[in-house]
Amino acid sequence: STEPKFSEKRFEEIHKEITAYVKKVGYNPTIVPILPISGFNGDNMLEKSDNMTWWKKKKIERKGGSYEFETLFDALDNIDPPSRPMDKALRLPLQDVYKIGGIGTVPVGRVETGILKPGMVVNFAPTGPTTEVKSVEMHHEALVEAQPGDNVGFNVKNVSVKELKRGFVASDSKNDPAKEAADFTAQVIVLNHPGQIQAGYSPVLDCHTAHIACRFAELVTKIDRRTGKELEAGPKFVKSGDSCIVRMVPSKP
């Protein structure tokens, strides 16, 4: 806790730190609500707290209109819902795979793009089989189709648990199926790293549910992380705070 309790001065210090960090990673701090709360007794969570009489309602101006917030509930209730890319090809990274008695093999994961339906023939990249989806469930209820954002389990035909694993990506075999990649291009923001990063650096990359070492094969260009404009072509190194386009080579396709 702060000293004195519910200190306005301490909140202003934290507000300054958070604003600087939000700006550093490329967001506009004027549209990020920052407010003092205490979860221990629910201060400013659902209702305005009597312990922070100095805290006044704030206003956020953004595209699509403005809103006011005083509590955490206000801030959460005014988050813009993300767009659901249903028109794109199916991509579903597997979180896990189960063998369920009387049903069979059930991969589970979150639909990122596209839709998943029973009867669809899916492919599991990079090295998995192609098979038909028998059923799709979410929270123990059968679905006619699963949409982006849905965490689902789906039963597949004639596939053993050993043939699938976490990190595989399910896709529609008839609509731009996912494929293995020998290399790929990524936009990288270096948040915090001691020293300089040069070509040849090989960190472990977590992408959705995949967890694999990838080598920085080529630093293509350094860019402004807010505008995307090129700052330097073929930089020799990048460091904390930089944003860049990198050609990366995974240790396995």
Give the side-chain half-sphere CA count within 13 A for 179. 8
Domain that includes residue 49, residue range: 8-77
Closest CA to 110 of 169, 165, 161: 169
Residue 83 lies inside a defined structural domain of this protein: no
How many CB atoms lie under 10 A from the CB of residue 231?
A: 14
Condensed to tens digits (0 to 9), the pLDDT of residues 204-226 reads 999 888 899 999 999 999 998 77
Tell me the average pLDDT across 179-206. 92
Tokens of residue 182, six digits: 């020998």
Rounded CA-CA distance 13/37 in Å is: 14
Last residue of a domain, one of 141, 172, 203: 172
Alpha helices in the chain (DSSP H): 8-24, 72-77
Last residue of a domain, one of 42, 77, 112: 77
**Cis peptide upstream of residue 4 (ω within 30 degrees of 0):** yes
First to last CA, the chain: 49
How many structural domains compose the chain? 3
> Could you give the percent of the chain with pLDDT greater than 70?
100
Closest CA to 143 of 173, 167, 120: 120
Residue 114 lies inside a defined structural domain of this protein: yes
Residue 121 lies inside a defined structural domain of this protein: yes
Supply the pLDDT for residue 139: 92
Supply the pLDDT for residue 135: 96
Burial of 94: CB neighbours in 10 Å, binned 0-12, 13-18, 19+: buried
Supply the pLDDT for residue 161: 94
Q: CATH no. for residue 143?
A: 2.40.30.10
Q: Looking at the structure, do residues 188 and 150 belong to the same domain, yes or no?
A: no
Condensed to tens digits (0 to 9), the pLDDT of residues 96-115 reads 999 998 899 999 999 999 99
> Could you give the percent of the chain with pLDDT greater than 90?
79
Q: Looking at the structure, do residues 64 and 104 belong to the same domain, yes or no?
A: no
Rounded CA-CA distance 233/236 in Å is: 9
pLDDT at 12 over 90: yes
Cα dihedral across residues 154, 160, 166, 167: positive or negative: negative
Rounded CA-CA distance 130/82 in Å is: 31
Confidence of residue 227 (pLDDT cuts 50, 70, 90): confident
Residue 87 lies inside a defined structural domain of this protein: no
Supply the pLDDT for residue 1: 65
